[in-house]
Amino acid sequence: MTYIDPQVVPIIENMKNFRQERGSIVDVSPIQMRENFNNDTKKWNAKLPDIANVADSSIDLGSHKIPVRLYDPSPEIKQLPVMLFTHGGGWIVGDLDTNERFLRQLSIQAGIRILSIDYPLAPENPFPIALDCIVEIIKTIYDKCDDWGFDKDKFCLGGDSAGANLALSAALDLKDTNIHILKQITLIYGAFSPISDKPSFKKFGQGDYGMGAEAMEYFWGLYLQNPELKNNPRAVPLLAKVKGLPPINIITGGLDPLQDDSFELIEKLRNNDVKYSHFHYPGMVHGFISLCIMIDEGERAIKEMAEVLKNQLFSTLNHQAHDSC
């Protein structure tokens, strides 16, 4: 019998009601989808925790001007570790407000600065535009770490869902061009492959637990507008060579159709001697960390992510790969 956390039950019911009101996701335009999503995010980003400083700015890449938001728990400290974070939303929706509560909490609890990146969205900006912009931003920010107050030796990436795909793909791009600047990567219920016949998709992809296979196939189709790109390792990081990546922390939920993507990635990391940690949360739907205002396990996941970051960025201990439930 499938375990569902009691706090998730009303959330699943609300998701079903939203689906009945709004219709199938494939029948909604990206513009309407963004409006719906932004309305939803307001609910889970209410009553934001206080943090010392939040500052919006932008990075001009020439081809695109990318909005960014800096979370700083300790402005009085000259340099702190930093995580550049890419939000989820199927490459189609989401912005700097998507993970406001979560990123504030992670910044405070880990004691690091976080720079959230509002990358160009598909379908207006299909693959590889967002990825190329993120890689360029990483290089630009790294070269100006002193100006931003970032510790160059403790430079990290993170992302959730489609944002985890972009974070991992950006890390692979850097590695493949012999740019070894990343200390750590955090990947939260990532979308790493468009293949939808995996066991977790068959079990949880019917839409009964929120985001389903139909939605993911729609998102992938808008992001990879040429079907041949499904064989491109830059778009589908499960096809890429992972050897040489820095330590990776992976978070999965027990009701998430995407969980097998993360399990396959873990197997690749293990087989290629890449250090990793894995935290699995049974009874949790896709996106549960963004819903931390309603779900205790979301709060626990943030705390455990923060502990991993503190151990890897502030400790001299050498932590080996492990799994945790």
Tens-place pLDDT, residues 77-130: 999 999 999 999 999 999 999 999 999 999 999 999 999 999 999 999 999 999
Enumerate domains of the chain plus CATH numbers: 9-317 (3.40.50.1820)
Work out the pLDDT band at 320, boundaries 50, 70, 90.
very low
Is a pLDDT exceeding 70 seen at residue 249? Answer: yes
Residue-level pLDDT at 24: 82
- What confidence tens digit (pLDDT) does each residue in 162-218 have? 999 999 999 999 999 999 999 999 999 999 999 989 999 999 999 899 888 999 999
Q: What pLDDT does residue 108 have?
A: 98
- Using only C-alpha atoms, the chain has a radius of gyration, in whole angstroms, of 18
CA dihedral angle for residue 272, residue 275, residue 281, residue 284, rounded to 10 degrees: -60
How is residue 199 written in tokens? 């066991």
**pLDDT at position 23:** 80
pLDDT range class, residue 18, cuts 50, 70, 90: confident
How confident is residue 27, by pLDDT bands cut at 50, 70 and 90? Answer: confident
Residue 35 has φ and ψ, to the nearest 5°, of -65, -45
For residue 140, count other CB atoms closer than 10 A to its CB. 13
Predicted local distance difference test score (pLDDT) of residue 52: 98
Model confidence over 268-305: pLDDT tens digits?
999 999 999 999 999 999 999 999 999 999 999 999 99
The CA-based diameter of the chain, rounded to the nearest angstrom, is 53
